[in-house]
Structure formats: structure tokens, C-alpha cells
Amino acid sequence: MQTDKALINQIKETYSMEPRPDFVLNTELELRKAARKMKRKRTFKLISLTSSGFILSFLAILWIFSFNGKETIENTLSSFVENNPLSVVKNSEPLVYIYHSHNQESFISETKTKDPNNEPYHPTRNISLVGNRFSQALKERNISSVHDTSDTMGILQDRGLSYDQSYSVSRESLEESLKNNPTIEMIFDIHRDSNEKNGTTAKINGEDFARIAFVVFRSNVKDEDSLKFAQHLHKIVEGKYPGLSRGVLVKTDPNTQNTYNQDLKNQSVLLEIGGVENTLEEEYRTADALAEVVEELLKYQK
């Protein structure tokens, strides 16, 4: 029987108890290499984690901001709609058609003519500027409109037609527009009158406005509706801007079949805004006021 100690010594002698020195060194180098690799991996992980964190938070902030922005808009929208039972705000489809059968009608202040017998006309500085202002003012009130700026009088000359034919020419683009925009409810044919200044100007709150006349032609089939429409507008103008409206003028001409395009829609009216002696500034004031009135009427109708 061997003693335990002898047995253990025998075991120890059996195996080479010292590893090779180059193995010891190599393993240490391997360990250091592995440690650095791990460190790089960890650094990379850290960097990617932080950067993705940053990107995420940036996106979140962006989202929150845009969401809030949208919400704010929606809040304003909904509060507006709540206050006014009018949905025109969201309506990007045109409700109003504006055109000028006598588009070159202009003002003395623009054409600089001295001759009182020679009515001012101008190819660009004309009544269509007022129509444009009216369209802009409606847009500011979120009412979409179609403004026909075609040079009707130029077309008349090109085709060699008489002045009376201007309503037929302007009717072409009106019919086209009505076909393309079935949402149109109101049609305004804007003119300027040839009256003198004292008849066409109103002083309201210390400012000069070009006065408006609502003209309805009795010859047309839908005259009753057109008349009501003009009277509505007149009443609202009277309420808001006393003295601005010259009233509703009904023109009866049983000899002519001309409807002045008022047969196309119930709510059609010809407007005379100001006269030859009014300035564009006065015209624009009225255009702004008229936009307010149209908005009021739309609210009333809804």
C-alpha cells in the first residue's frame, strides 16, 4: 500500500507541471487583445446607444412640436367652427365667382386723364384690381373664390364685336368655371359707375369708401332669387357700414333678352363699386368691407 503522499508525488511526476513560457506570455497577450476588443465593442455600443438615444429624442421632440402645432391649428379651427356655424373655413372649393364684363373700366386717378367727357379705361390699371382685392379679402376670411381676369374688352376688340356683346364674352368663361367648380354659389360682376364723386363716396369713421350699388336685371328668369340676394347684401352692408350702399337697383328692360348672365345662378348680382373719380384706396376699402359682408351672409345662410 502506498502512502497518500507518495501517490500524490507520483501523480505530480506524471505530468509536466510547468506550462511552456511562450504559452504563458502568448496567453497574456491574447487576454490583452481580447480586453481591447471588448473595450472597443463596448465603446461602439455606448456610442451607438447614445447617438440613437439622441436621434430618438430629437424625433420625439420634432413629433411633439409638429403634433402640438397641428393640434393648435385644429383647436383654432374647431373653436372657429364652434363659434360660427359656418364651414367655409375648411372649404377650399370656391364659393364665389368674380368677374368683370367691362374689365378695362378705370379711374381718373389711374389714367390721369383730364377730360371729364372721356371715361377712363386702362388695359391693366382698371376695375379688375378691385376684383383682385375683393378675392384676396375673401381668401383672408378663408373663403375661396375664382377671379376671372380675362381681358373681356380686349377680346371684344379682337373679335370686332360691339360693346353690348361683352356679357356674352364674359359668359363664356363664367359657364366654363361653373362647370369646373360646381361649388360656386355667388356670382359678382364688378363694374365702376360713371357718376360723380359726391354720389359715389361715403365717409365712414373718418375714411372715404367707394359706394356700392347692387344691380339686378328684371329680364332674367331667376330674378326673384337674384333680387333677394341683392337685398340681403344691401341689408348687411347697411347694418355694418351705414351709407355705403346705394341700394338695390332693379333694371327692367322688356325689349332686350339680355339677362346680363344673371340667369346662371340664383345668387348673381352686378356691382357698381365707386365711380370714375374714386381712388383705388377707396375702392379697396369697399372691397374689404364687401368681403366681410359676404362672409356674414354665408354664416347667415348656413
CB of 52 to other proteins, least distance (A): 21
Given the complex with other proteins, which of 16 and 255 has the nearer CB atom?
A: 16
CB of 50 to other proteins, least distance (A): 16
Neighbours of 177 (CB within 10 A): 16
Q: Would you say 275 and 60 are in contact if contact means Cβ atoms under 8 Å apart? A: no
Q: What SS3 state is found at 145? A: strand
CB of 54 to other proteins, least distance (A): 23
How far is residue 166's CA from residue 191's CA, in Å, rounded to a whole number? 12
Given the complex with other proteins, which of 27 and 72 has the nearer CB atom?
A: 27
Given the complex with other proteins, which of 43 and 194 has the nearer CB atom?
A: 43
Binding site for other proteins (CB under 8 A): 1-2, 4, 7-8, 10-20, 23-24, 27-28, 30-32, 34-36, 38-39, 42
CB of 15 to other proteins, least distance (A): 5
Amino acid letter for position 224: E
**Nine-digit cell at 16?**
509536466
Q: How far is CA 72 from the centre of its chain?
A: 18
How far is residue 291's CA from residue 140's CA, in Å, rounded to a whole number? 9
Given the complex with other proteins, which of 3 and 257 has the nearer CB atom?
A: 3
Distances (CA, A) of 167 to 5, 151, 261, 289: 129, 12, 7, 26
Given the complex with other proteins, which of 38 and 56 has the nearer CB atom?
A: 38
CB of 47 to other proteins, least distance (A): 14
Please give the DSSP secondary-structure letter assigned to residue 121.
B
